[in-house]
Structure 1
Amino acid sequence: MSKSLIIACCLLLSCLGVVAQAKFTISGTIRSKKTGETIIGATVHVAGQSIGTVSNEYGFYSLTLPEGTYTIEFSTVGLQPVQKQIVLTAPMTRDIALDDAAQSLKSVTITANARQRNLSTPQMGMEQLTTKEMKNVPVLLGEKDVLKTIQLLPGIKSAGDGNSGFYVRGGAADQNLILLDEAPVYNASHLFGFFSTFNSDAIKDLTVYKGGMPAQYGGRLSSVLDIKMNDGNNQDYNVSGGIGLISSKVNIEGPLQKDKSSFLVSARRTYVDLFLRLSNDSSIRNNTLYFYDLNAKLNYQLGKRDRLFASGYFGADNLVVGNNFGLKWGNGTGTLRWNHIFSSKMFSNTSLIFSNYDYKINVKSGANDVNIFSQIRDWNLKEELQYYVSQRHNLRIGFNTIYHTMRPGEITSSQLSNFNSSKLQQRYSWENAVYVSDVWKATDKLDLSYGARLTAFSILGAGDFFNIDKDGNILDTLHYKSGEFVKTYINLEPRLAVSYKLTGISSVKASYARNVQNLHLISNSTSSSPTDRWVANTNIIRPEISDQVSLGYYKNIAGNKYELTVETYYKTMQHQIDYRDGADVLNNDAIETQLLFGKGRAYGIEWLMKKKAGRFSGWVSYTLSKTERKIDGINEGKWYNARQDRTHDIAVVGMYQLNEKWSLSASWVYYTGDAVTFPSGKYMINNTVYYYYTERNGYRMPAYHRLDLGATKQLRKRGRYSSELSFSLYNAYGRENAYTITFRQNKDDMNKTEAVRTSLFRFVPSISYNFKF
């Protein structure tokens, strides 16, 4: 071998040695030192470098670095950051406990440790709310409500006055996936939508995805609201609660075995029915109206690599009017989760999930005692692997399989032998999905997130399915046996998002996402109702599909004290559902005969300016948008306004720490009135007035605006015990916002038509007492 060849080989081996410099991974779990709760989204950052990561949904982090010595900072909002000197010469496990931050008024004024948007993350349309923000925003009757709070964010619109339902970027209310510890909640409201099912005391984290949602989420077109319950304190026992005008609640948590296991029980109940019994009017005194919630959770550290969680939610509403009518509805969810750390780079989460929603109606009239029952029930198995490939790649791979059972309606009588019971057909379906996604840090300025979700939705027998003509008439009936496959819909849902940092404080982002929805809510009321009917795909009802593109600009201002976000979007929707004129959807086995199908589009721009640090904090949001549908058989086949279309939507929220005893808050909202269908004329036959309608949703309700005020006073804070009084005034200037507008003939002149405006809430004060020890 020549001398020159030997020298070349030595140089090559030397270069390979440099290229193959040893890399090692540091990983672990980040927790709160005070409670032992794992911390979601904690930042792990290498000092002096633009290298870092964040903890996942279970507090796990993984960071791969070349061999060497590093100073790594672990931090999150509201807790003291921790710096660790690390000598990385082999794979290392390092669990981190973060302590509470100083709570003095002075430190709140000057702190720089405010939530900082990660400008480099490609995720768009995501909003997170802290428990402090949710606690301070004034709401109806002082009952802290996460669903009403998120309605103050851009792109998320209230479904009505005092209503917990919401619309996101032109989508209908059923196009929002609401998850509680991974379990879907099909009806997230109490008291006909005036309160949400979520007890804020039991909530650990809340994240909303309005567009470009990650591939692990699917099943809805418009948004995901991912709510995670507290795990429970594994260091010490705590009791907290509150007594308000219409409800009381209590929260108990503590360790089963310190550092290894904990429990949480949170309960809430209203007592409107107790006030009704104080009335001298027997028609009021004999009525019942209340709801209750119960959240429970257990978690156990099986070892260094394994952790087991079991959580559940149970809630119901009960309405009884005298002895003649009763309505009860409620949700039940259960989640069993197993976390396993395969290695410093691979994390696994396996979940078995149960969800149930049902309602029962009882009607008594003379000798008749009629009962109506409806239900939707899911069993869901989900598995996900997170593989931290390198410093630049974070891979997720998973699948989930769901078995749906729907009982649209059963009518029975327990007293009449000659009563003919009726039963709408039960529907069965099997929904499967696999997904993969990768977050790739291509350069110091360019980040990408890309992936796909493949879904297969199978309609199963037994049952009868129909073929219909364009006018909704049944042409023939198809019979299927139990377990027989009727039809399978397969859809690919690609996802792509890109982020480019312009400077150290600003970036631009773009994303594209396709979403598919296989379950649909059938409702023709203007507000949510517990008797709204869920239906799955059939041979006629096809999956709804949306394609959304988004573009955004993000900037942190004044040392991260302020945050500016501007996002614009355009969304097209296929196979949208609306009703034929005069449709009957509640007691109809062939519900397809009552429906029409077409397409939709939604587009808009959203602004959010947020102040995050200091004694005064809050945000201003503004949404300018348009939402339309085009369906053959409606509005002569022309584009028409969707029911949730609103041109303008504004929210102003402010929170001020007056001193160590008092904190003040206020919110003001304004939005364009909803699109509605009003009569365009009338005619009279045999002295009876009939209205006729032309354009669908061609009119507008009056514009809506409202001011809410709130104040909290710290009463006592001694040792572990603290208490406070919370005051709020809903609709502070008494605006009579229209809830409904109906039409009637003038009693004195039948040729005149009167519009009757109904308003719900004016000057609604509340007070509540909260405690913790």
Structure 2
Amino acid sequence: MKRLISLLIGIVCCASVVTAQNVTIRAVNQPASTVFRSIVEQTGKNFVYSSELLKDVKVTVTAKNKPLKYVLAEMFSGTSIEYKINGNNIVLKRKKKMEKPKKVTSTTVIIPTIKMEEPTIKSTMLDEVVVLSRLEAPQVETSEIGAKKVTADEVRNTPVLLGEADVIKALHTQPGVTEGTEGMAGMYVHGGNADENLYMLDNVPLYQVNHFAGLFSAFNTDIIRYIDFFKSSMPAKYDGRLSSFMDVRLQNGNREGHHGSARLGLTSGAFNISGPIGKKTTYLVGLRRSWFDVLSIPFVAIANSQNEDEKLRFNYYFMDFNARVQHRFSPKATAFVSLYFGDDKLKTGTDEKGMDQSDSWGSFENDRFDMHWGNLLVHTGLNYRFNHNLSSEFTAAYTRFFSGMKHDLHNIDRMPGGTTESRSILNTDNNINDWIFRGDFDWRPNDNNRVRFGAGYTRHSFLPARTTREYKAGNTHTFSRDSTWANGANEVNAYIEDDWKINDKFRMNAGFHGSLFNISGKTKYGWSPRLSFSYRPAQNWAVKFAYARTTQYVHQLNQSYLALPTDQWIPISGKFKPETADKISLGGYWQSSDKTYAISVEGYYKWMDNLVEYKDEYYLRPPLDLWNAQLCSGKGTAKGIDFKIEKVFGKVTGHVSYSLAWADRTFADKNGGRTFPAKFDNRHTINVMLNWKINDKVQLNASWVGHSGNRFTLLNQVWDAPDFDTADWSGGGESPLRTGINSYQLPFYHRLDLSCTVKNKRGYWTFGLYNAYCHMNTVAVKRGTRDITVSKPGEHYITSEPVFKRVKLLPVIPSFSYTWLF
């Protein structure tokens, strides 16, 4: 029976860009699958064909700015292969009547130059540098476990809060990945913490990838091409985090003309354009900005009109800016420069209205709180192909994360006898600066081996926190700065891996990543072996095994369940060792004969050492203590099974997944040394994702998620703190006492999200409904009181008793946006 596979060799371009269908290509006696990569890159089409169909098939074709149909006809003229263009797919099959193959010859070559990536097709490549995901082939054909390529279409077709398409929230639908707090763009993979995921933009790390405490991610989805995501089989190229690696790849500039999009949504807008600069240079520019500062104006005005004594102050916005310029020096050499800047600003507080009125008597106060945080990334690189078998990418980058807070408290006491004034200002800053230099190589010594190797150097500069305090009152003026520390660190790493196709049934990927981390005169090291093995007893199913060790030198200290810019990134230093994780995975995969359906089952066990967290009651330590005095080291484990069934082709596509998981932590200086569950130890998680393409103009999308409630630490005891200012010690308020960390589990969480896309001649509308059946999920528990009326003979009074109250945040929320294409 003919074996069909769906080989997504290209990149599905965003709907916001109009791609040209003319092709420029030259191939001389090249494997057909190799030629397909260049065609896909230029047209955005996908090829669907039988693996046996192209076995040992080589073609010779030359075309300069010719229609796609012309190029395909030339390629397969005189062969036993015929093609049919069906929407975005080019379907290949064998002709009923066989013809004797013949070769087409010609000369000249002009091919678009694009950035090197790692395709999985094992064949001799063209002289051109071609960008492709390494996750193109179906799972039954690779050795990787827990790897996923997410296209831009999949991101846009995932319904999300406020209709803002989000890369990270699209990954929440994958088994083994949880969102953490409802509606937020946090990510917790296989029992790991939020800081154990490495987020990259075009192969360069970013530290802060969230806007508005995690409500939105920092990636502009209108200019994204695809995302490579790894959670079990880790390529040797990646290290530095324990749980997962995500590389977001941006579009290349359009070589055929100036095209782009403009989007106007409920909470933000975006503008993107790309095109050529001469014959060898292209550009891409993308800008996204939120409207929260504009939308909040009427609500703040209404609130202030109803309060004559106090003026509310609120203003927030976020923005992202991306720019990329790429130049082709020759078919073998391409250079590029890219820029990313993400920025958030929040201003809040209250101003009492009598503050500026000199004839007003009394005590007045202005309490203002400002925050500013963001990312800056400057990236340049050179892609060079030495020959058919060896290509390279050289990278230099500067990345900076910064965060600052300012609390300004201004008091005036204006009395007939005189006026007193005081002002206290608290400023806190933290930042990380990285200079990155690396070289990556891709070598194909033969058709069955593919060797990837490289090395890199990173210069880190850490400022976890710098706090200044200023106080003014009359003639008194004091200024102090906390005795915090700034540190530089040097990191060197190297890796090598071989993807070896042993025969038609066995495949293996073996590699090693080694690293050195030098800080404060001490050098720490990490060794991270990687191994994955695949056995394919039949054409449509496979069994895989994988082992991976990862090492992490930089970690983030979290004080809440949200992704806040106040959470400091600090390096491993002093007595602490690098964090490590060892993971064993086993998987089984099946694909239907027509490649419409796929089923996978993956099990894993992960043990983590040298994890770093705050000690219990760390906030009681002296404020001038070094960071390390507030931290402790421990270990953790995670285990589980991920099941997924997926429909890939047809008008209705989607998947259903189920995860059974356990995750725990053990720290000598936390929870009395007793093991406790991780914050997001969700035992059962179910995801359902459906996409229904009704016709060429209308598509409906639905996403349902249900999982065991998050873990929560209940403060179930309090004691009355004494008030030393009074003689009777009447009490200075309640101080909570906690018993067990994450000892309470919130109720079962479930939610349905819907979206609809309607296309017209100029663009498309997107309508969304978050939490469609308005199930108010519990996201936290707080202490409170409940009034009780007591009626007794001769007595009648009202008292209160302490109770726990559930915190529920998000009801049904509609959204809409319009995207104009040009």
TM-score where L is the length of structure 1: 0.83
- Kept in 2: contact 1:656–1:665 (CA 8 A): yes
CA distance in 1, matches of 2:251, 2:501: 32
Alpha-carbon deviation of 1:735?
Answer: 1.0
Alpha-carbon deviation of 1:434?
Answer: 0.6
CA distance in 2, matches of 1:263, 1:488: 42
Q: Name the counterpart of 1:198.
A: 219
Give the partner amino acid of 2:555.
Answer: H
CA distance in 1, matches of 2:622, 2:778: 27
1:571 to 579, 599, 606: 606
Map 1:157-168 onto structure 2 (within 5 A). 157-168=178-189
Give the partner amino acid of 2:188.
Answer: Y
Alignment pair present for 1:273 and 2:317: no
Map 1:245-644 onto structure 2 (within 5 A). 245-258=266-279, 260-278=280-298, 279-282=301-304, 286-322=313-349, 324-366=368-410, 367-412=423-468, 417-460=477-520, 485=521, 487-557=522-592, 559-584=594-619, 589-644=625-680
- Kept in 2: contact 1:169–1:222 (CA 8 A): yes
- Kept in 1: contact 2:49–2:93 (CA 8 A): no
Structure-2 change in CA distance of 1:769 and 1:229 (3 Å): same
Alpha-carbon deviation of 1:413?
Answer: 6.0
Alpha-carbon deviation of 1:335?
Answer: 1.4
Q: Name the counterpart of 2:151.
A: 130
Could you tell me which runs of 5 or more consecutive residues in structure 1 were left unpaired when the two chains were aligned. Answer: 1-22, 53-68, 99-113, 461-484
Alpha-carbon deviation of 1:364?
Answer: 1.2
- Kept in 1: contact 2:448–2:500 (CA 8 A): yes
Structure-2 change in CA distance of 1:501 and 1:71 (3 Å): farther
For residues 337-371 of structure 1, the C-alpha deviation after alignment (integer angstroms, 9 at most, x for no partner) is 10000011000100112211111112211233432
SS at match of 1:739: strand
> Which 10-residue stretch deviates more, 539-548 or 675-684?
675-684
Map 1:747-766 onto structure 2 (within 5 A). 752-766=801-815
> Which 10-residue stretch deviates more, 536-545 or 673-682?
673-682
- Kept in 1: contact 2:687–2:705 (CA 8 A): yes
Structure-2 change in CA distance of 1:285 and 1:301 (3 Å): farther
CA distance in 1, matches of 2:47, 2:569: 35
Give the partner amino acid of 1:742.
Answer: K
Give the partner amino acid of 2:515.
Answer: T
Alpha-carbon deviation of 1:603?
Answer: 0.3
CA distance in 2, matches of 1:41, 1:587: 61
CA distance in 1, matches of 2:510, 2:805: 52
2:741 to 689, 696, 713: 696
Give the partner amino acid of 1:49.
Answer: K
SS at match of 2:478: coil
Give the partner amino acid of 1:708.
Answer: D
- Kept in 2: contact 1:384–1:396 (CA 8 A): yes
Give the partner amino acid of 1:616.
Answer: V
Structure-2 change in CA distance of 1:94 and 1:267 (3 Å): closer
CA distance in 2, matches of 1:40, 1:80: 6
- Kept in 2: contact 1:35–1:236 (CA 8 A): no
1:649 to 676, 680, 685: 685
Alpha-carbon deviation of 1:372?
Answer: 1.9
CA distance in 2, matches of 1:97, 1:71: 31
Alignment pair present for 1:231 and 2:276: no
CA distance in 2, matches of 1:313, 1:184: 12
- Kept in 2: contact 1:192–1:529 (CA 8 A): yes
CA distance in 1, matches of 2:296, 2:327: 44
Structure-2 change in CA distance of 1:664 and 1:426 (3 Å): same
Give the partner amino acid of 2:303.
Answer: D
Structure-2 change in CA distance of 1:271 and 1:97 (3 Å): closer
Alpha-carbon deviation of 1:214?
Answer: 0.4
CA distance in 1, matches of 2:806, 2:588: 42
TM-score where L is the length of structure 2: 0.78
CA distance in 2, matches of 1:586, 1:772: 58
- Kept in 2: contact 1:46–1:70 (CA 8 A): no
Give the partner amino acid of 1:226.
Answer: D
CA distance in 1, matches of 2:624, 2:581: 28
CA distance in 2, matches of 1:42, 1:301: 30
SS at match of 1:123: coil
CA distance in 2, matches of 1:542, 1:71: 61
Q: Name the counterpart of 1:49.
A: 55
Q: Name the counterpart of 1:65.
A: none
For residues 429-471 of structure 1, the C-alpha deviation after alignment (integer angstroms, 9 at most, x for no partner) is 11111100000011111000001011111113xxxxxxxxxxx
How many residues end up aligned between the 2 structures?
689
- Kept in 1: contact 2:430–2:465 (CA 8 A): yes
> Which 10-residue stretch deviates more, 413-422 or 147-156?
413-422
- Kept in 2: contact 1:452–1:495 (CA 8 A): yes
Structure-2 change in CA distance of 1:177 and 1:77 (3 Å): farther
CA distance in 2, matches of 1:213, 1:583: 35
CA distance in 2, matches of 1:633, 1:218: 28
Identity over the aligned pairs, expressed in percent?
30
Give the partner amino acid of 2:605.
Answer: Y
CA distance in 1, matches of 2:82, 2:667: 56
CA RMSD of aligned residues (A): 3.3
Q: Name the counterpart of 2:119.
A: none
1:658 to 687, 694, 697: 694
For residues 520-565 of structure 1, the C-alpha deviation after alignment (integer angstroms, 9 at most, x for no partner) is 1111212211110111010222101111000001111251111111
CA distance in 2, matches of 1:199, 1:377: 23
Alpha-carbon deviation of 1:691?
Answer: 3.5
| Structure label with greater radius of gyration | 2
Alpha-carbon deviation of 1:726?
Answer: 1.1
- Kept in 1: contact 2:48–2:89 (CA 8 A): no
